[in-house]
Amino acid sequence: MTYVQGFLLAVPDANKAAYTELAEASARVFRAHGALSVVETWGVSVPDGKVTSFPMAVKLEKDESVVFSWITWPDKETADTAMEPSMKELEQLMGGDMSKMPFDGMRMIWGGFETIVEA
């Protein structure tokens, strides 16, 4: 079964075009290093919760949207092997300055998941 890396973050609405451009470039890099697919989604129906929610998880601020993304890999080993060179390439794309990301990386949530059902 495949291995999935998932990401949840808040992106300022004013940075949607810059984020989309970065996401497209990132997808090319991850695919070149063995990813099976890369999906980036922009929240359009992401309700606030009373106890938990996507907006609460990323500490969503006014004029921001939740972004939910995932990378599908053939297995965890491929993902682990690909991550270091992929991040180096992405850093180069950012001119060596990762602080230029169009979102607050401190509020990004991520994790790796083994697939248990794939229909």
Sorting pLDDT into bands at 50, 70 and 90, what band is 9? very high
Instruction: Establish if 119 belongs to a structural domain.
Output: no
Number of independent structural domains in the chain:
1
* CA dist., res. 3 & res. 76, Å (int): 5
The model's pLDDT over 21-77, given as tens digits with 9 standing for 90+, comes to 999 999 999 999 999 999 999 999 999 999 999 999 999 999 999 999 999 999 999
Q: Is the pTM of this model over 0.75?
A: yes
Q: Which domain covers residue 82, as residue numbers? A: 3-114
Instruction: Assign 3-class secondary structure to 53-90.
Output: CHHHHCCCCCCEEEEEEEEEECCHHHHHHHHHHHHHHH
CATH code assigned at 45: 3.30.70.100
* CA dist., res. 26 & res. 90, Å (int): 7
SS3 content of the chain, % helix, strand, coil (to 5): 40, 25, 35
* CA dist., res. 63 & res. 61, Å (int): 6
Q: Is the dihedral of CA 53, 57, 63, 69 positive or negative?
A: negative
